[in-house]
């Protein structure tokens, strides 16, 4: 028996924001940081900059990380105090 076509599609789910807004802004080498080196991150929503972290590898870091300050939410970024430019 032939399968009947679906004439009505389910409505699409609301688009969800990617919470990963922390992207690499600087990378380098440090003693003991093999094999991937160290990286710093900057948030594209709130401008928060992190200190140096050991990198998990290029492919993983390209996906970004979740910002500890705004969690990728623009409303939280507006409410948060201005970013400190030191190592936090
Ligand atoms: Zn942020």
Q: How far is the CA of 47 from the centre of ligand 1 (A)?
A: 6
The verdict on residue 56 lying in a domain is yes
Tally of domains within the chain:
1
The verdict on residue 13 lying in a domain is no
The verdict on residue 35 lying in a domain is yes
The band of 84, judged by pLDDT with boundaries at 50, 70 and 90, is low
Q: How far is the CA of 18 from the centre of ligand 1 (A)?
A: 12
Q: How far is the CA of 87 from the centre of ligand 1 (A)?
A: 15
Strand 65-66 relative to strand 53-54, pairing: unpaired
Q: How far is the CA of 30 from the centre of ligand 1 (A)?
A: 26
E runs forming strands in the chain: 20-28, 38-43, 53-54, 65-66
Tens of pLDDT, residue by residue over 7-25, are 888 888 888 888 999 999 9
Provide the domain limits for residue 24.
20-79
CA dihedral 44, 24, 87, 78 (to 10 degrees): 10
The verdict on residue 27 lying in a domain is yes
């Amino acid at each position: 028996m032939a399968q009947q076509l679906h004439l009505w599609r389910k409505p699409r789910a609301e688009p969800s924001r990617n919470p990963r807004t922390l992207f690499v802004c600087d990378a380098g080498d440090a003693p003991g940081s093999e094999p991937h080196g160290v990286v710093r991150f900057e948030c594209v929503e709130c401008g928060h900059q992190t200190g140096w972290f050991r990198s998990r590898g290029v492919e993983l870091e390209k996906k970004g990380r979740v910002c500890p300050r705004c969690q990728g939410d623009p409303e939280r970024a507006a409410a948060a105090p201005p970013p400190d430019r030191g190592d936090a």
